[in-house]
Amino acid sequence: MTESPKDAGQKGRELREEIFGPEGMKSLINADDFQMPLQDAVTRICFGEVWSRPQLSLKIRSMLTVAVLVGMSKPDQLKHHVKGAIKNGVTKEEIREILLHAALYYGLPAASDSWRQATAALKEIDAY
């Protein structure tokens, strides 16, 4: 049975505060009418419906999130989620390894794909 949006919202608030503490709740608490739909979605969907699923631990979810944020080049979110990852049991050494590993896969494959596409484009316009 799926949870009601109200249940997911409450579960999300509790989990969000558990991971990020009072500091991580400021954007929700301080949200005005314009910002509230986003904060509600983040709280209810991200934390109440996805992060709270039992199939992956919070530690693994934090590790995945850090790696994904590296690839998305989202430094503000990365900083926030590194703090949450520590709270979820990820060590400094594990964060270092995640960052190193992500650099390999987000850096080199992206460069290789880009180089291949640029070469094809230059050949198509006879500029190679």
Host domain of residue 37: 1-55
**For position 107, what pLDDT does the model report?**
83
Mean pLDDT score, 89-116: 83
Please tell me whether residues 43 and 3 are part of one structural domain. yes
DSSP string covering 56-123, please?
A: S-HHHHHHHHHHHHHHHT-HHHHHHHHHHHHHTT--HHHHHHHHHHHHHHHHHHHHHHHHHHHHHHHH
Please identify, among 55, 82, 98, the residue that sits at the C-terminal boundary of a domain.
Answer: 55
**For position 16, what pLDDT does the model report?**
96
Share of the chain above pLDDT 90, in %: 58
Please tell me whether residues 63 and 38 are part of one structural domain. no
Query: Mean pLDDT, the chain, as a whole number?
Result: 89
**For position 105, what pLDDT does the model report?**
87
Please tell me whether residues 66 and 117 are part of one structural domain. yes
pLDDT digits (tens, 9 = 90+) for 27-80: 999 999 999 999 999 999 999 999 999 999 999 999 999 999 888 888 888 898
Please tell me whether residues 66 and 51 are part of one structural domain. no
